[in-house]
């Protein structure tokens, strides 16, 4: 049971019209369910902000002002207890020199996560096991798990996985937008027919260490092979349902069932382009490319000045060449479909925040209570909500821990 006070947003939602003068009404069932669940997200790209000059996790930021979607004040408001903070490494060139560069990048990003937690040790703590989540909550802190998006830091030597495990990494995905030396990407042409030989060693080493395998961004063949080879359940840390929207980043119903049969979980992703049709507008794409070039943007990491220029330029491009944006209704279609096909024990939540995620009605962590409201309005119980918000993901982590070394 959590011991945090109810977030302000939930208090206001349940209060009488004259909230400050009148006695508060009893909490609605959804507010109680949200308060009592362990609320986590399995994919925060927020560590990309940690090295940015002037950006601090304890300050309240704004998606409209600086593009960020996760910080401590907004976690409190949204009733969010923690999550998996990603070591994301862009896929660059391949080969010994590039592998060493990716390794170093990953080590630096892991260090930045630890530095944030150390700086704010009264508010955050690193979690190394599933049970640590509750222990950290009992200490009145938010928990921080480390994950790795794109296995390029270990692609040159899967033995490096033990070093990242020692740094606290408890979830790893082998690949991102482009194929690498471990696996084929869902958004690239088949090169290995799934996992490479090194990728199969990656799966075995993850099992040996007790690391959860993440198949988001991986091809269907990679998922098939992970399901066959892994001794522990698989997670999709931020993915969607192909039956709702046909996109390579989403999985079909047969794979949903196979994932569930293995004991795994799909964490529904709030990335608009993977949820609703987004027309290709050449002029828009050219303008976006020119904008990024003009501000010297080479990846997700941006200085405050670059971020300000990017947001201003993007707003101009959006006004001139608008594209549809998904909303919370679209998000819930993916979630409810996944629950129907895979079962309530095999679905969770990811906003893909600070990595391009966010839809109308769910644009930062303060909006998470709306998902609880929608689930309960659809007939799901308090116990069901607890599974979706954290119970299912933590169960998969416990299973990886139990399979460790076997």
Question: From start to end of 89-161, where are the E strands?
Answer: 124-126, 142-149
Residues constituting the chain: 406
Query: What are the tokens at 121?
Result: 């040790």
CA distances from 371 to 336, 361, 376 (A): 11, 10, 9
How does pLDDT run across 287-341, given as a tens digit for each residue?
888 888 887 766 666 777 787 788 788 788 888 888 889 999 999 999 999 999 9
Tokens found for residue 350: 């990811």
pLDDT at 283 over 90: no
Report the topology of domain 36-278+324-403.
TIM Barrel (3.20.20)
State the pairing for strand pair 265-269/234-241: parallel
User: How far apart, in whole angstroms, are the C-alpha atoms of residue 219 and residue 97?
Assistant: 26
- Quick one: pLDDT band at residue 405, thresholds 50, 70, 90? confident
| pLDDT surpasses 90 at 254 | yes
The radius of gyration of the chain from alpha carbons, rounded to an integer in Å, stands at: 20
> Using one digit for the tens of pLDDT, what is the confidence trace for 34-81?
999 999 999 999 999 999 989 999 999 999 888 899 999 999 999 999
Tens-place pLDDT, residues 340-365? 999 999 999 999 999 999 999 999 99
SS3 percent helix, strand, coil of the chain, rounded to 5, is 45, 15, 40
What one-character-per-residue DSSP string does 10-68 give? Answer: HHHHHS-SSTTTSPPPPPPHHHHHHHHS--EEEEE-GGGGTTSTT--TTS---HHHH--
CB-based contact 253:230 (threshold 8 Å): no
Residue 383's SS3 state is: helix
Confidence (pLDDT) at 14: 45
Query: Does residue 265 surpass a pLDDT of 90?
Result: yes
- Give the residue among 301, 334, 336 at the shortest CA–CA distance from 55: 301
pTM of the model: 0.91
What's the rounded Cα separation, in Å, for the pair 163 and 175?
A: 19
What residues pair up with 214 in beta bridges, in sequence order?
Answer: 235
CA dihedral 326, 328, 329, 332 (to 10 degrees): 110
């Amino acid at each position: 049971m959590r011991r945090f006070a109810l977030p302000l947003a939930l208090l206001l939602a349940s209060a009488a019209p004259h909230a400050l003068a009148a006695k508060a009404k009893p909490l609605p069932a959804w507010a109680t369910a949200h308060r009592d669940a362990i609320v986590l997200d399995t994919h925060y790209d927020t560590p990309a902000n940690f090295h940015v000059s002037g950006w601090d996790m304890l300050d309240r930021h704004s998606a409209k002002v600086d593009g960020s979607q996760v910080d401590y004040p907004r976690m409190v408001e949204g009733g969010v207890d923690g999550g998996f903070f990603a070591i994301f490494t862009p896929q660059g060139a391949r080969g010994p020199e590039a592998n060493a560069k990716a390794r170093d990048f990953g080590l630096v990003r892991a260090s930045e996560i630890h530095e944030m937690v150390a700086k704010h040790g009264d508010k955050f703590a690193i979690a190394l096991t599933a049970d640590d989540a509750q222990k950290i909550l009992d200490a009145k802190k938010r928990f921080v798990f480390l994950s790795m998006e794109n296995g390029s830091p270990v692609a040159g030597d899967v033995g490096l996985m033990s070093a990242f495990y020692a740094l606290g990494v408890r979830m790893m995905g082998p690949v991102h937008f482009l194929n690498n030396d471990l696996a084929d990407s869902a958004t690239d042409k088949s090169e290995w027919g799934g996992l490479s030989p090194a990728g199969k060693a990656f799966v075995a080493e993850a099992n040996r260490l007790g690391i959860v395998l993440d198949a988001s961004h991986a091809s269907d063949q990679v998922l098939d092979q992970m399901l066959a080879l892994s001794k522990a359940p698989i997670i999709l840390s931020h993915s969607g349902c192909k039956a709702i929207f046909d996109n390579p980043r989403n999985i079909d119903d047969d794979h949903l069932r196979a994932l569930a049969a293995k004991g795994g979980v799909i964490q529904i992703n709030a990335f608009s382009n993977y949820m609703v049709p987004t027309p290709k507008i050449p002029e828009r794409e050219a303008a976006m490319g020119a904008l990024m070039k003009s501000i010297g943007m080479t990846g997700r990491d941006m200085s405050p000045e670059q971020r300000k220029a990017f947001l201003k330029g993007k707003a101009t491009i959006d006004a001139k060449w608008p594209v549809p944006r998904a909303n919370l209704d679209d998000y819930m279609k993916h979630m409810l479909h996944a629950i129907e096909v895979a079962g309530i024990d095999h679905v969770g939540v990811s906003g893909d925040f600070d990595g391009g995620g966010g839809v109308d009605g769910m644009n930062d962590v303060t909006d998470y209570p709306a998902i609880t409201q929608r689930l309960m309005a659809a007939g799901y119980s308090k116990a069901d909500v607890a599974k979706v918000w954290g119970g299912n993901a933590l169960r998969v982590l416990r299973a990886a821990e139990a399979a460790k070394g076997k």
